[in-house]
Amino acid sequence: MRTRVALYALLVAAGAVVLLPYVWMVASSFKPESEIFTVGLNLLPRQPRWQNYPDALAAHPIALWLLNSFVVGIIETVSTVVTAVLAGFAFARLRWWGRDTLFTLYLGAMMVPIQVTLIPSFLIVKSLGLLNSYPGIAALHLCQFFGVFLMRQFLLNIPTDLEDAARIDGCSWARVLWQIVLPISLPAVAALTVFAFTAAWNDFLWPVVVINKPEIMTIQVGLSALRSESTVWSQLLAATTISALPMAVLYVLLQRFFTQGVVMSGIKG
């Protein structure tokens, strides 16, 4: 009993440490400018200022930046899910020459940091005339190695009895994937959707390289553009809180499928 109480106390303390920056961000978004950097413990605003949010939306094109991030996120997420499902199915279920070798190369590619391929990727996108465009921003993440790995691990844990029966009845591999494997794989697809959209929403390095026009900025690039010598921190914190809301809503809606998909794929954090 004491061990369990100590464990729960440790988990609560760790959760509080993790959540503290987010609580401070949300609370400070309601503070007047004079209270944000006041010395001492002042987590909650003494005089809440709700006007910070309308001021931030009026002073900066935050709605446009959110729309840009949504469009890029949808493009990357749809492309990632489609390619990951197809490639994961091929690696997990089909037998073909060089399958394991190619999958090992996929795993090796996951270890390569984006900084290594940043300049070649930029030159390719520039030569295609895709700078300052949605396709140019999404180009680097249309297919993600982690998604292929996640779907393969999930499919390896699914019994093949239904697939074997369908193949005996004359079903093609495409029909097996569409009518049998895909419905069973919805938890993994939901988990991959959360991962892909979150990565697209939070991506900063690649968008800041290919964007130099304010009207095409994503929310992360837009927030960084608000930093200057005359930064209005109350508006910046309000904008940052607004940018975090879509991810929180997405995770709450897909939490059950997300957890189930990660557990069944055998991936541990």
Please, what are the averages of pLDDT over each run of 10 residues along the chain (269 residues)? 84 87 86 76 78 87 93 94 90 84 84 86 91 90 87 83 75 79 84 88 91 89 80 85 86 72 53
Tokens describing residue 50? 């709700």
Q: Is the four-CA dihedral 196, 198, 204, 207 of positive or negative sign?
A: positive
pLDDT at 176: 79
pLDDT at 112: 83
Tokens describing residue 219? 């929310």
CA separation for the pair 241, 57 (Å, rounded)? 12
pLDDT at 227: 78
Burial readout 191-229 (b: 16 or more C-beta within 10 A, e: otherwise): bbbbbbbbbbbebeebbebbbeeeebbbbbbbbeebeee
Q: What are the residue boundaries of the structural domains of the chain, listed by start? A: 1-49, 60-265
> Tens of pLDDT along 8-60?
889 888 888 888 888 888 888 888 877 877 766 677 788 888 888 998 888 88
Name which of 144, 142, 150 is nearest 73 in CA terms: 142
Name which of 178, 194, 173 is nearest 248 in CA terms: 194
Burial readout 156-177 (b: 16 or more C-beta within 10 A, e: otherwise): eebeeeebeebeeeebeeeebb
Q: Name the DSSP class of 264.
A: H
pTM higher than the cut 0.85: no
pLDDT at 77: 93
The continuous run of DSSP H or E covering 63 comes out as helix 62-93
pLDDT at 134: 92
Query: Under 8 Å CB-to-CB from 214, ≥6 apart: which residues?
Result: 61, 222, 225
Domain spanning 60-265 has what CATH number?
Answer: 1.10.3720.10
Whether the Cβ atoms of residue 233 and residue 32 lie closer than 8 Å to each other: no
Q: Is 38 helix (H, G, I), strand (E, B) or coil?
A: coil
Q: Name the DSSP class of 217.
A: -
CA separation for the pair 46, 238 (Å, rounded)? 17
